Amino acid sequence: MTAIRGTDVSIRTQDGTADAYFAHPADGTAHPAVVLYMDAFGLRPQLKAMADRLAGAGYTVLVPNVFYRHGSAPVVPLPEFIADADRPALFERIVPLMGDLTGDVVARDSAAYLDWLATRPEAAPGPVGTTGYCMGARLALLTAGHHPGKVAAAAGFHGAGLATDAPDSPHLLADRITAELYFGHADNDPSMPPEQIERLDKALTEAGVTQHADVYAEAAHGYTMADTDRFDAGSAERHWTALLGLFGRAL
């Protein structure tokens, strides 16, 4: 088993300082870099555990607190296990934070994350990968679109709002994307309904983007998150197989 090292770090951005978690193999060598974007519940032990698993597979992983403008993680205090009954009160506080993450804001922040990784001896030079969960899938796709020369692989799982009517919808950057993409959509997910899946696929196909998408049958939105009652172990393992396959090919 690969030994890994995980530390809390700070990253200077144009708008302040983002706290983040940084994990990498503890072997003293450089490894391909990945930005892992959090779901709406934020940077917490579950996300750190996922970063550690990815680091154990041979990657240098950065997990930024994308809500840093509102404070250090946890910006919204969470129960140890997030049940459906907890969600209304939590999202009452989280939704306004999500609204701040416009396309322009994500472009600025992602540039800072990528620039920071480029300075780290633990990160191999060259293109990076990105993966995101829930709202983080949108951030991963926007990062690929805003930084095509730097991002070689991008993935999104139970993504939300990837092809909306908004003027900064990620799918509108399709003609700028050079990364290979993978999406693991959740079945019957109201945050990414079939018409958005179709619109996303159409935009990427017409732009000539190398991409693949699966709909994980009977998987709920949030299926990768073991600290919630939406977790589905089989779908979560399927996601790891797909993600590591993508990064293995592209990075």
Which string of DSSP letters, residue by residue, matches 23-71?
Answer: EEETTSS-B-EEEEE--TT-SSHHHHHHHHHHHHTT-EEEEE-TTGGG-
Helix, strand, coil in percent for the chain, rounding step 5: 40, 25, 35
What average pLDDT score do residues 44-52 get? 98
* Residue-wise pLDDT tens digits, 174-202: 999 999 999 999 998 999 999 999 999 99
Q: Can you tell me the distance from the alpha carbon of 153 to that of 163, in angstroms, rounded to the nearest whole number?
A: 19
Residue 15 DSSP symbol: T
> Could you read off the pLDDT of 125-159 as tens digits, one per residue?
999 999 999 999 999 999 999 999 999 999 999 99
What is residue 188's predicted lDDT score, i.e. its pLDDT? 87
CB 201 within 8 A of CB 156: no
**235 Cβ contact partners less than 8 Å away, ≥ 6 residues apart:** 184, 216, 219, 223, 224
CATH number of 4-250: 3.40.50.1820
Alpha carbon distance 194, 188 (integer Å)? 8
pLDDT of residue 1: 67
- Is the pTM value of this prediction over 0.85? yes
User: To the nearest whole number, what is the mean pLDDT of the chain?
Assistant: 97
